[in-house]
Amino acid sequence: MKKVERINTIMRYINNRSHFTITEIMQEFNISRSTAIRDIKEIEAMGMPLVAEVGRDGGYSVMHNSILPVVRFTDNEVKALFIAFMATRNQQLPYLKSRQSLAEKLLGLISENQQDDLVLLNQILLFAGTNPNNPDLLELSDLPHPMLEKLIQLLLSDSYLSITIKEGEAIKSCSMYLLHLYQEKGNWLIEGFDLKEEKKKIVPVDDLTNIEPYSIKKRLSKKNILEKLSKQEEEINLVLELGPKAIAQFKKYHPLKVSLSYTNPYQTTAILKTFIHVNNSEEVNEMTNWLLFLGRDIKVREVPEEVLNGLKEILYLYCP
């Protein structure tokens, strides 16, 4: 690691701790004691308000209520940030207006040479879903559902939600304990525990019309919720062995609830176990198409008859 990168990383390390020692810096960054001391002195000279603590267990602490120096970015760090911003385009992500202002500030802070590099990157790099005729980083054509940011703000303080859902022409109310907020196939979904029906439920964020914290008096404890969910664990009915090609396909896309267990240290073979609701035709169709997406590098140990029939029907269409 270059000195400039190490100094910046040490500064971030220090900022996140109320107290640290030279030994901790040496171990964390694999540097000698003399190098650690020189780095700390240089950081102090840059204006970071450190207070030395004497004694056997002494170390350093950062003064409270003090202005910390600006963290400087290396050329590669600037490019990494910029490319990360580019990759978020057309992804229906929250806080896009903040992404826009961050990009503007980033461009304003760096040198003209660095700006030229980023302009060139913006012209050359295209990610999936980006309009090649309009790759403007600051365009906000992919704003997500307006409820998404409000939902995230609520979740930072409370996972118990009272939500209103639009289903066709009907409006329904639901109380949930949120387990996950995730994106799948370009859609944001809430996975939660329905506090009235006492079962797991998935709700598209696009269907939300209102969100509020749920009444404290009517809540089940988190421990109680997790116990009820554990008792409702579905029995596994799909078991596959995956080879390297199938694993590569899995990494490109897989449903949220599906995970792999690697069976060798090189991660070239794996076992996939999951449950498919055979009474849910939409889920059966989705899993059938996904199995075809995995390709031929799989061995089927167990599969529901409904999925097997679906595979046969699709294959018959192409190979009658």
- Name the average pLDDT for the chain: 82
Q: How many CB atoms lie within 10 A of CB 76?
A: 10
Q: How confident is the model at residue 241 (pLDDT cuts 50, 70, 90)?
A: very high
Tell me the C-alpha distance between 148 and 182, whole Å: 11
How many Cα atoms sit within 13 Å of 78 on the Cβ side?
A: 22
Q: How confident is the model at residue 244 (pLDDT cuts 50, 70, 90)?
A: very high
Q: How confident is the model at residue 162 (pLDDT cuts 50, 70, 90)?
A: very high
Q: Is the pTM of the predicted complex or chain greater than 0.75?
A: no
Range of the domain at 275: 238-318
Helix (H, G, I), strand (E, B) or coil at 155: helix
At 91-149, the pLDDT tens digits run: 777 777 777 777 777 777 777 888 888 888 877 887 766 655 655 655 656 667 788 88
Residues 152 and 202 in one domain: yes
Residues 270 and 312 in one domain: yes
Tell me the C-alpha distance between 15 and 47, whole Å: 13
The total of structural domains in the chain comes to 4
Say what the pLDDT of residue 250 is: 92
Residues 111 and 157 in one domain: no
CB under 8 A, 24+ apart: contacts of 289-293: 289/314, 290/253, 290/254, 290/255, 291/240, 293/249, 293/253
Looking at the domain assignment, is residue 164 inside a domain?
Answer: yes
CATH number at residue 224: 2.30.30
* Bridge partners for 238 per DSSP: 274
Residues 93 and 158 in one domain: no
Looking at the domain assignment, is residue 220 inside a domain?
Answer: yes
Say what the pLDDT of residue 59 is: 81
